[in-house]
């Protein structure tokens, strides 16, 4: 018909076609090395859209801008997502549906849809007094379940003193933990699949050592567990933080990321060294920063112990001297920081 000068519009794909594209798209981003959390976020956003369209009998208009707008309005009304969460949902759907439209030969459904303004990153952090109150609340839960107070306290201390991301903490296995009293550390399987060696405060290492002796775990057992013994889940972690925060009377919205930001803030206040803070949080792989290697081990171990002291933990003098001795030996020219 096009040869006769008659334009035949492309037929919009239905639910089956979009579902097929979903599988291809998820395989594509997985093959590109995107993180598991990113792939999961895409899957949730896409499936949420398809399920909503099925309920609303809109599966024939999946690439109509009006359908997309109605879905996003419904998501915002029924879920009340945080601005950052809503913004991300919009961006994930836009990337996927634009990709579908391109492969189906139809017009871009987002051509006339403006993205919501990108929200500023959450900047809440806890003062030393506030974290102390949270920790105190965690140690005195309303429910008298065996191991609950001890588990919650250790989880909160670990998040604060290591500055780990939520997934990094939850993914720790015992084989990742090195409790050498002179230089305790953990192997963190970081965002983007770049493992890094991260120092542990001596006081936290001592508590982890006691936990390991009581459990006698296998190397592939998780460090942080639910009360049933399995790996601690993100939803339970969020509950631990929320429960302790609410009981402590903290009005700020506190998450695992808030505790990570708290660690960064305390270190910056203590040292004024943005490079140290970035390295402590894992924004750089110290094994590749060779010109800083002679100071990194000492600084990072000191940073870990400083955070622990602020959080109410302290190392013994014997452990502290052992650490300084080991770090000094690693600071000689030609020595390397093990990764």
According to the model, what pLDDT value does residue 296 have? 53
- What CATH code is carried by the domain that includes residue 166? 1.10.443.10
Q: Cβ(141)–Cβ(250) under 8 Å?
A: no
Q: Which of 260, 261, 280, 310 is catalytic?
A: 260
Active site residue 189: no
Whether 170 maps to a domain, the answer reads yes
According to the model, what pLDDT value does residue 290 have? 33
- What CATH code is carried by the domain that includes residue 37? 1.10.150
Mean pLDDT is lowest, of 4-13, 42-51, 238-247, 271-280, for 4-13
Which run of H or of E encompasses 188?
strand 185-188
Confidence class of residue 4 from pLDDT cuts 50, 70 and 90?
Answer: very low
For residues 272 and 155, the model is more confident at: 155
Q: Which of 34, 43, 191, 231 is catalytic?
A: 191
100 and 159: one domain? no
pLDDT above 60 for 253: yes
What's the average model confidence in pLDDT over 9-15?
58
pLDDT in tens, 177-234: 999 988 999 999 876 667 889 999 999 999 999 999 999 999 999 999 999 999 999 9
What's the average model confidence in pLDDT over 260-271?
91
Count Cβ atoms within 10 A of the Cβ of residue 73 and give its class: 0-12 exposed, 13-18 middle, 19 or more buried.
exposed
Distance CA 1, CA 175 (A): 66
Active site residue 165: yes
- Residues 6 or more apart whose CB falls under 8 angstroms from that of 232 comprise 155, 170, 222, 224, 225, 226
pLDDT above 50 for 325: no
Active site residue 36: no
Query: 18 forms bridges with which residues in the sheet?
Result: none
Q: Can you read off the two tokens belonging to residue 290?
A: 């060779």
Tell me the average pLDDT of the chain.
Answer: 83
88 and 44: one domain? yes
pLDDT above 90 for 34: no
According to the model, what pLDDT value does residue 193 have? 60
Residue for token pair 């090395």: 33
Q: Percent of the chain having pLDDT more than 90?
A: 57
Number of domains in the chain: 2
Mean pLDDT is lowest, of 151-155, 250-254, 295-299, for 295-299
Q: Which of 94, 182, 292, 320 is catalytic?
A: 292
Distance CA 128, CA 140 (A): 19
Active site residue 310: no
Q: Which of 165, 198, 243, 310 is catalytic?
A: 165
Distance from chain centroid for Cα 333: 36
pLDDT in tens, 111-162: 999 989 877 654 588 999 999 999 999 999 888 888 999 999 999 999 999 9
Q: Can you read off the two tokens belonging to residue 261?
A: 């930001």
Whether 122 maps to a domain, the answer reads no
216 and 283: one domain? yes
Confidence class of residue 314 from pLDDT cuts 50, 70 and 90?
Answer: low
Whether 120 maps to a domain, the answer reads no
Q: What is the DSSP letter of 251?
A: -
According to the model, what pLDDT value does residue 143 have? 81
Q: Using DSSP, how many helices (H) and how many strands (E) does the chain show?
A: 13, 3
Q: What is the DSSP letter of 172?
A: -
Active site residue 257: yes
> Nearest Cα to 187, choosing from 210, 166, 204, 164?
164
> What does pTM read for this prediction?
0.59
> Nearest Cα to 167, choosing from 189, 149, 194, 187?
189
According to the model, what pLDDT value does residue 11 have? 53
For 177, other C-beta atoms within 10 Å of its C-beta total 20
According to the model, what pLDDT value does residue 126 have? 92
Half-sphere exposure (CA, 13 Å, Cβ side) for 269?
13
Active site residue 191: yes
Whether 113 maps to a domain, the answer reads no
Domain containing 83: what range? Answer: 9-104
151 and 87: one domain? no
């Amino acid at each position: 018909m096009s040869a006769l000068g008659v334009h035949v519009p492309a037929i919009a794909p239905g639910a089956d076609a979009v579902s097929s594209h979903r599988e291809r798209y998820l395989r594509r981003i997985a093959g590109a090395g995107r993180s598991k959390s990113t792939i999961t976020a895409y899957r949730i956003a896409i499936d949420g859209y398809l399920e909503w369209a099925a309920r609303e009998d809109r599966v024939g208009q999946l690439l109509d801008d009006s359908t997309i707008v109605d879905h996003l309005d419904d998501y915002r009304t029924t879920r009340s997502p945080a601005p950052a969460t809503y913004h991300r949902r919009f961006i994930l759907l836009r990337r996927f549906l634009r990709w579908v439209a391109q492969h189906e030969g139809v017009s871009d459904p987002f051509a006339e849809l403006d993205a919501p303004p990108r929200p500023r990153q959450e900047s809440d952090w806890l003062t030393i007094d506030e974290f102390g109150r949270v920790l105190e609340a965690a140690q005195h839960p309303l429910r008298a379940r065996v191991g609950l107070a001890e588990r919650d306290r250790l989880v909160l201390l670990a998040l604060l003193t290591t500055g780990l991301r939520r997934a990094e903490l939850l993914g720790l296995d015992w084989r990742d933990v090195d409790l050498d009293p002179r230089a305790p550390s953990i192997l963190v399987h970081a965002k983007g699949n770049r493992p890094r060696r991260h120092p542990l405060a001596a006081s936290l290492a001592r508590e982890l050592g006691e936990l390991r002796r009581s459990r006698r775990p296998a190397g592939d057992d998780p460090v942080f567990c639910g009360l049933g013994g399995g790996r601690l889940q993100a939803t339970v972690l969020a509950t631990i933080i929320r429960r302790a925060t609410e009981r402590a009377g903290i009005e700020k919205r506190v998450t695992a990321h808030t505790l990570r930001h708290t660690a960064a803030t305390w270190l910056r206040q203590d040292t004024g060294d943005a490079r140290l803070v970035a390295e402590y949080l894992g924004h750089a792989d110290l094994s590749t920063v060779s010109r800083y290697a002679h100071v990194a081990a000492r600084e990072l171990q000191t940073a870990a112990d400083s955070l622990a002291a602020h959080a109410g933990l302290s190392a013994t003098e014997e452990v502290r001297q052992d650490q300084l001795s080991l770090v000094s030996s690693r600071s000689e020219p030609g020595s390397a920081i093990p990764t």
